[in-house]
Amino acid sequence: MNAASTPLIEFRQVGKVYGHGQGAVQALDGIDLGIARGEFMAVMGPSGSGKSTAMNILGCLDVPTSGSYLFDGHAIEAFDQDQRALLRRHYLGFVFQGFNLLNRTSALENVELPLVYRHVRRAERRARARDALAVVGLAGWETHTPAELSGGQQQRVAIARAIVTQPAVLLADEPTGNLDSARSHGIMELLVNLNREQGITILMVTHEPGMAGYASRVIHFRDGRLDAAAARSAA
């Protein structure tokens, strides 16, 4: 089997249980899932359905209780905490509903931050941060602080920060949740472009069917399982 046909991400009978005894909660129950390189997948489901638990495992913030999570062929549940942190740092980018920007720091400095943790030299990280801001449509806004930016612009800074490390996978948790309709569609068009032009695999949690419609595949969680009847592939 060649690399192109091998899933970048794979869940094999992944289960997750929180608690013990009578207080145990089965958050995930035998999930099988393959995600191809370069795919744009939306994850939907009601509160308590298991989608957030699945995303935490995908983002190497948690590990399965049973089954296996493979990233590029490596069983992540066998990694220790430091190894999972290195995988997050070098292969994953994160975008959140709340932007999570440093308020008194410029857009450029916010985008640079992941490169500081990777000990990239100042001149290189400045150049890469400027390039990332240009990719998200914010060339010329480098010196502005979050207070001087609209919500949509702040989310673009957050996306630039997520892609400045050139991740293989971008995990987006309700990326349009704090935005109005026009800015939401702008952010989704940006994510589509990143997926198509840079080949970044995107996994996005959303409650909004209109936003999920931008993805190439939508999966639905219900009661800790994948709802096969609700899953569909976009045309």
What is the number of alpha carbons within 13 Å of residue 116 lying toward its C-beta? 7
- Token digits for 2? 């060649």
Q: Please give the domain boundaries of the chain with CATH numbers for all domains.
A: 3-233 (3.40.50.300)
Q: Average pLDDT of 48-74? A: 95
What is the number of alpha carbons within 13 Å of residue 226 lying toward its C-beta? 18
- Rounded to 10 deg, the angle between the 122-135 and 107-117 helix axes is 130
pLDDT of the residue at 22: 82
H or E element in which residue 12 lies: strand 9-18
| CA distances (Å), origin 63, targets 43, 70, 76, 178, 227 | 19, 11, 8, 29, 22
Instruction: Name the amino acid, one letter, at 62.
Output: D
Q: What is the C-alpha to C-alpha distance for residues 183 and 143, in angstroms, rounded to an integer? A: 22
Q: Average pLDDT of 79-105? A: 93
Name the more confident of 117 and 188: 188
> What is the tens place of the pLDDT at every residue in 138-166?
999 999 999 999 999 999 999 999 999 99
pTM: 0.90
> What is the tens place of the pLDDT at every residue in 193-223?
999 999 999 999 999 999 999 999 999 999 9
pLDDT at 233 over 50: no
